Amino acid sequence: AHFHSDMMTKHVDISILREINDFIINIDNRTSHALLLHPLRTAVLKVNVLRGTKTLKLKDEVFVRVIGHNGKPAMPWAASVTLKNTMIQANEKRSVEYKFKLQKGDRVDVVLGWYLVNPQALKPLKLENEKVATDFTEFKKMSFTF
């Protein structure tokens, strides 16, 4: 998901399910591989609700694969195991619930995107000032009005 992410967007769908007191964002990865393959990549689901003139930013949902060695996170060249994997996998439909009651007229803006380098790895790699590493890249954007 670095150079040809535009080709992949056709195979990842985003939908919303409104419930009485909350709503669910569904991400359907119809590709034959995980959403992001490189262990330094971090996918993020950003959700805002526009209500009248106010924009309400809801909690980001982060999808990562953390690799490590001896039970601690490590760089790819030193890692021997996967410590945590919340990345959206091949042919997986992931649901993210938001405890937020939608009202008539609300617009929900959903952005699924990624960071080239996990923000937590920027400093050890001395990449804090590298725009390509720190920028959030929008992969797929959808709006839903109620």
Q: How confident is the model at residue 4 (pLDDT cuts 50, 70, 90)?
A: low
Q: Helix, strand or coil for residue 48?
A: strand
Q: How confident is the model at residue 2 (pLDDT cuts 50, 70, 90)?
A: low
Does residue 115 sit within a domain? yes
Asked if the model's pLDDT at residue 14 lies above 70, the reply is: yes
Asked if the model's pLDDT at residue 111 lies above 70, the reply is: yes
Does residue 145 sit within a domain? no
Here the CATH number for the domain that contains residue 87 is 2.60.40
Does residue 37 sit within a domain? yes
- Provide the pLDDT for residue 79: 95
Range of the domain at 67: 5-139
Higher pLDDT, 25 or 38: 25
Least confident of 6-15, 109-118, 121-130: 6-15
Does residue 97 sit within a domain? yes
Mean pLDDT for the stretch of residues 113-139: 92
Contact present, 67 and 73 (Cβ < 8 Å): yes
Does residue 126 sit within a domain? yes
Mean pLDDT for the stretch of residues 49-78: 95
Q: Give the closest residue to 41 by CA, choosing from 85, 9, 93, 97.
A: 85
Does residue 146 sit within a domain? no
Which residues, at least 6 apart from 36, have a Cβ–Cβ distance to it below 8 Å?
1, 42, 43, 63, 65, 87, 114
Does residue 58 sit within a domain? yes
Mean pLDDT for the stretch of residues 81-90: 96
The DSSP annotation for 82-126 comes to EEEE-SPPTT-EEEEEE-----TT-EEEEEEEEESS-GGGTTTTT
User: Can you give the pTM of this predicted structure?
Assistant: 0.90
Does residue 66 sit within a domain? yes
Q: What's the total number of domains in the chain?
A: 1
The token pair at 74 is 């490590």
Contact present, 42 and 119 (Cβ < 8 Å): yes
